């Protein structure tokens, strides 16, 4: 169990994390979501006593991280796969970490095998791909078989097989009763592996709930209707104040009226229904909706240069 209470971290005048509180329950994968610059990594660093919070604290099963002796047996964390000396071999990197907590070389070789790096473990890390470094970082997390696991963007740089592998590993670990907190920008992956979500924006808590509740609460809901008499149905729905979008000659999408009501309305009108599908937006839709007011960096849709702009070769104008 992780308990974060009133965590606040400032960098000069910038408030990176603002009075953030949430709990992470054991036996579940909890996704930690937020737009770029929302304070996820800072929060994780504060939780692990790497950054000094200006206020608030974090408890791991009731204990502050700084008070843990041999914390690798209690909390395994991967904050950045790049935190490795490139001139050191992967195995030696793990040995330095393991030895500091009294963990022997046998366990190092076990976790190296577990993450599939046995063949390359004696190669220097500078020859590793980002995906291999992620696996190395995960090996370090697993060294002490901890009951709490914190991962910051663990799927970065992994190929599809690697992403599936890490998802399976995390779900398996949560299934063993471990507490798993994982941040990721891959929302489709998060939708598949997370049970709970903690969503933050601009350093503040936006929502914390189960994934299904979060999507129900924040994603758009609509009903797709297909009927040979679709215009009749559409007209009646518009008269009830519903938003109706025409898909094609026999299809509409309706926002604001439940599917059951549309079915009854169609029956009363004598319209035949070929499709009546209640639909819901994805986790990505829900996330974008929930964090719409908390995006620090906003992009705009790319536009083609106009004829008068005259972009020269090489990008110079």
The residue ranges that bind another protein (CB under 8 A) are 45, 48-52, 65-69, 71-72, 77, 79-80, 82-89, 92-93, 95-97, 99-102, 140
Residue 107 beta carbon to another protein: minimum distance, rounded to whole angstroms: 14
Residue 299 beta carbon to another protein: minimum distance, rounded to whole angstroms: 28
User: Exposed/middle/buried for 171, CB within 10 Å: 0-12, 13-18, 19+?
Assistant: middle
In contact, 1 and 30? CB cutoff 8 Å: no
Reduced to 3 states (helix: H, G, I; strand: E, B; else coil), residue 60 is strand
Residue 114 beta carbon to another protein: minimum distance, rounded to whole angstroms: 19
Four-CA torsion 310, 315, 316, 317, nearest 10 degrees: 20
Closer Cβ to another protein, 71 or 201, answer by number: 71
Closer Cβ to another protein, 101 or 246, answer by number: 101
Closer Cβ to another protein, 136 or 174, answer by number: 136
Q: In the beta sheet, which residues pair with residue 251?
A: 226, 248
Give residues with Cβ within 8 angstroms of 60, minimum separation 6: 1, 2, 68, 74, 75, 148
Residue 9 beta carbon to another protein: minimum distance, rounded to whole angstroms: 9
Closer Cβ to another protein, 71 or 262, answer by number: 71
Residue 65 beta carbon to another protein: minimum distance, rounded to whole angstroms: 6
Closer Cβ to another protein, 105 or 272, answer by number: 105
DSSP at 126: G
Reduced to 3 states (helix: H, G, I; strand: E, B; else coil), residue 114 is helix
């Amino acid at each position: 169990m992780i308990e974060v209470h009133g965590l606040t971290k400032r960098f000069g005048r910038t408030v990176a994390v603002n009075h953030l509180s949430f709990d992470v329950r054991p036996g579940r994968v909890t996704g930690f979501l937020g737009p770029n610059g929302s304070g996820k990594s800072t929060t994780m660093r504060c939780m692990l006593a790497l950054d000094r919070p200006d206020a608030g604290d974090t408890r791991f099963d009731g204990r502050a991280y700084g008070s843990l002796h041999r914390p690798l047996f209690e909390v395994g964390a991967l904050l950045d796969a790049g935190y490795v000396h490139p001139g050191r071999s992967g195995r030696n990197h793990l040995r330095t970490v393991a030895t500091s907590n009294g963990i022997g070389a046998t366990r190092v070789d076990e976790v190296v095998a577990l993450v599939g790096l046995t063949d390359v473990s004696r190669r220097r890390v500078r020859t590793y791909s980002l995906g291999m470094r992620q696996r190395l970082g995960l090996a370090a997390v697993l060294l002490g078989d901890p009951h709490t696991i914190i991962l910051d963007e663990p799927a970065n740089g992994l190929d599809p097989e690697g992403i599936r592998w890490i998802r399976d590993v995390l779900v398996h670990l949560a299934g063993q009763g471990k507490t798993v907190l994982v941040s990721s920008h891959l929302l489709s992956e998060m939708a598949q592996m997370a049970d709970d979500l903690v969503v933050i924006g601009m350093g503040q808590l936006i929502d914390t709930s189960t994934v299904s509740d979060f999507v129900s609460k924040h994603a758009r809901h609509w009903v797709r209707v297909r009927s040979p008499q679709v215009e009749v149905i559409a007209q009646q729905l518009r008269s009830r104040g519903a938003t109706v979008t025409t898909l094609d000659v026999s299809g509409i999408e309706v926002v604001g009226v439940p599917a059951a009501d549309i079915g009854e309305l169609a029956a009363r009108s004598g319209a035949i229904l070929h499709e009546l599908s209640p639909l819901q937006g994805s986790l990505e839709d829900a996330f974008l909706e929930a964090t719409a007011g908390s995006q620090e960096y906003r992009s705009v849709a790319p536009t083609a240069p106009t004829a008068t702009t005259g972009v020269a070769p090489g990008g110079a104008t």
